[in-house]
A and B are shown apart, each in its own frame.
Chain A
Amino acid sequence: MDSLEYIDNYFRGLLTEEERLALERRVLSDPAFAEDLAFYINAGSLVKEEVLAEKRARFKTLYDQHQRTTARRPPVRRLWAYGAAAAVLVMVAGLWWIFTRNAGPEKLANRYIDRQLTNLPVKMSSVQDNLQMAVSLYNEERFTEALKKLQDILQKDPGLIQAKNYTGLVYLRLKEYDKALEYFQQSAKDTTLYSNPALFFESLTLMKRDHPGDAVMARQLLQEVVDRNLDKKEDALQMLKDW
């Protein structure tokens, strides 16, 4: 088989597991083949760059058209729109204030997840490692792919606490609370780390699961985070205040 076809089949998932492994071994032993593979990636990347540049230019034109249309609208009509929007905003703010005075554990957890756990920090690096790629996938809500990546990582390094915590977070976002708890509980057992938010995440998961007794346990865990001066102590304190 021609090397480009072989490489093409690899990236399109058309090879057997054995053939895939053979290709990866060949990269290590055959520099000319590795060059072909690098060429395949570069060529695909450049073509895609051109495709995306064309789409960006098209979007720019659409945006300019949109701006021109908006600018032509009579100002009075816009004033009404702003007035109506302001009225709605006041109503929403009022309702929000009424309903969130006593937030309740599940709402507290939802609020925390929305604000703090939908966009986890990704380390800046030209070459992303697998853990950072999993976090990027998580941030893009590609949970199934993130999970797969994390499971690969844990298979190679079952003791990696960060990977366990991220896995727990993925399950939390997928509303699979029992699995999330399993990972956070495993992770919380490791007391060697300077910073491990597992106990706090476990509490958050219990707040979301909301089975009988979960709220009481969640509160106790928050208190434990505060008492033992663990990671996320400030967040735990705030939650206990808002409870």
Chain B
Amino acid sequence: MLPDKTLSMLKDPEIIDHLKQTGANRRKAEDQLFNNFVYFIQQGMRKYSLSEEDALEVYSDTILSAIDTIVSGTFEGRSSLKTYLFRIFNNKCVDHIRKLTTNKNKIHRNTSSPDLLSQLSDSAKSIIQQMVDRSDLDLLRAKLKELGDNCREMLALFADGYSDKEIAMTMQYKTAEVVKTSRLRCLEKLRQSYNLLKN
């Protein structure tokens, strides 16, 4: 693991490299990325008249969206991180204002479902979308909290973009296959406890 001082001096390629790693290095790179451009928040407040709370929320979304893009390997590196983040931040500020003016106050979150849904064909997507909309998310959330710590950590790492191999290294499992089996077992357990009460 790198000491804090070294990490605080990281340049773009090194931050990108650390974000693609696991554990403490990745977490520190995320914090570093957030700290590097935190002054955008003031710009959001001045340029778009956002409240401090809203500007912080938009900026946090910007960083999370950029981390997602970098970790998934879709960041093409055509511009510096600063330029890239600045563009996303401005777009998100405009989106935020549009949502406020159309009375849709719920801020866009980077949840995984739209991404996953978009992978389906249109006919399958509309069926699944209806089922997703009908789901009892509060019940599912409650059942998720009842899962054991190991299961929750494993599912959280997976949702955060870690591969089974990286989860195996982080959580000290023997192989990626063991992680995959355990992860699917956790999901199965969650599905059963959810279906039991849902039906």
Could you list which residues of chain A lie within 8 angstroms of chain B, going by C-beta atoms? Answer: 2, 4-5, 8, 10-11, 24, 27-28, 34-52, 55-56, 58-60, 62-63, 66, 118-119, 122, 124, 127-128, 130, 133, 139-145
Contacts and interface: CB of A to CB of B under 8 A. Distances in A.
Interface residues of B, dominant DSSP: helix
Between A4, A35, A59, the greatest number of chain B beta carbons within 10 A of the residue's beta carbon is seen for A59
Interface in B106-153: 109-114, 116-124, 126-129, 131-132, 135, 137, 140-141, 144, 152
Given A4-B184, A56-B60, A63 B91 contact: no
B169 interface: no
B41 A63 contact: yes
Interface of A is mostly: helix
Contact of A48 (B99, B159, B184): B159
Chain B interface: which size bin? 35 or more
Contacts of A144: 74, 76
Given A122-B95, A124-B98, A38 B132 contact: yes
A174 B46 CA distance: 31
A142 B84 CA distance: 10
Given A41-B117, A41-B128, A48 B112 contact: yes
B16 to A, nearest CB: 15
B182 to A, nearest CB: 12
Contact of B104 (A38, A40, A124, A133): A124
Contacts of A45: 111-113, 116
A50 B160 CA distance: 10
Contacts of B69: 140, 142
